[in-house]
Amino acid sequence: MELEGRRLTMKRVADNPIEGEVVKSDGGISFLGDVNPETGIVQDRKNNLYGQTIKDKVFAFPVGKGSTVGSYIMYRMFKNGHAPKAILNASSEAIVAVGAVISKIPLIDRVDLERLRTGQRVRIVGGKVEVL
């Protein structure tokens, strides 16, 4: 199965093939408060991924929410070595897009997340997401 989306990060970042395991949040994510930047673990008790890491995963979530500080939290995760390999959104917004760009995290939006589930392996190139 192959899904398509819109690449929002720099061409040289997004065009490098990436393979990884999907972790999918059922709800929106605020990087300020929902994810611990020192560990990459989801700390929002209401989130279905509570207690799980997004570090080195393909992190799928519908939309970002919350403070503009979230972009810098993503950058902090990147500098700490706890960022996801890639981000897939149904609809990305400016906070997540800026965070992905400054952190060199490939970001694809307009992805049909209903067709993905936690534990699947995917390969991402450009705006294409292939379920392996």
- What beta strand segments (E) does 25-127 contain? 58-61, 86-89, 107-109, 121-125
CB 29 within 8 A of CB 65: yes
Could you give the domains of the chain?
2-131 (3.50.30.10)
Q: What is the pLDDT of residue 107?
A: 92
| pLDDT the model gives residue 114 | 94
Which positions are annotated as active-site residues? 67
Give the pLDDT score at 63: 95
What pLDDT does residue 2 have? 66
pLDDT at 127: 83
CA 107 – CA 39 distance, rounded (Å): 21
Q: pLDDT by residue for the chain (132 residues), tens digit each?
A: 767 666 666 555 556 789 999 999 999 999 999 999 999 999 999 999 999 999 999 999 999 987 889 999 999 999 999 999 999 999 999 999 999 999 999 999 899 999 999 999 999 988 889 999
Quote the pTM value: 0.91
**What pLDDT shows up at residue 125?**
87
Say which residues have a Cβ less than 8 Å from residue 51's Cβ, sequence separation at least 6: 41, 42
